Amino acid sequence: MDRVDAPAEQMTPATDAAAAGHQLPQSIDILKIMQSIPHRYPFLLIDKMVEIHAGQSAIGIKNVTVNEPFFQGHFPSHPVMPGVLIVEAMAQTAATLVVMTLGEAFEGKLVYFMTIENAKFRRPVGPGDQLRIHVDKERSRANVWKFKGVARVDGVAMAEATFSAMIMG
């Protein structure tokens, strides 16, 4: 994997055995996300990732704007981001973390949902909100990873779910 150059204080050592031998940047931009996962507009639902801990956790950032294509039909007079898209943003954050952990051989690989459990939607997300999508690995075995995700706006939990996915090698 090409390492993003960053000052040493922004780098975090890889803690997962699969990531041994390389370090991950503390944050990545949209270009690196697009290199990591195959999603594209209008279905690429994260803009940036921060606080990346290889094989363990990360925070994805989604800046929600009124120009999102889903607002045209989900509810035009009171725009609300669909909950399923918030869960998808959690999955994209987790998938990017997995690819960054496993390295360039996995860049652009497909990742398929296997389960979504205990999804809860606490408050609506709308234009002007910045979602901070916290994902924490619960476990991984071979190419199957399970995560707990919580999407927050200004520190308040808006949605949460536990999900597992399989990366196709």
Residues 64 and 153: their CA atoms lie apart, in Å, by 11
Q: Cα 109 to chain center, whole Å?
A: 15
Q: Are 19 and 57 in contact (CB under 8 A)?
A: no
Assess whether 74 carries a catalytic annotation.
yes
Query: Structure tokens of 152?
Result: 């927050």
Residues 162 and 87: their CA atoms lie apart, in Å, by 9
Query: Structure tokens of 118?
Result: 């205990």
Set 22, 53, 74, 78: catalytic member? 74
Residues 141 and 8: their CA atoms lie apart, in Å, by 31
Give the amino acid at 3.
R
Q: Are 164 and 144 in contact (CB under 8 A)?
A: yes
Q: Which residues are catalytic?
A: 74
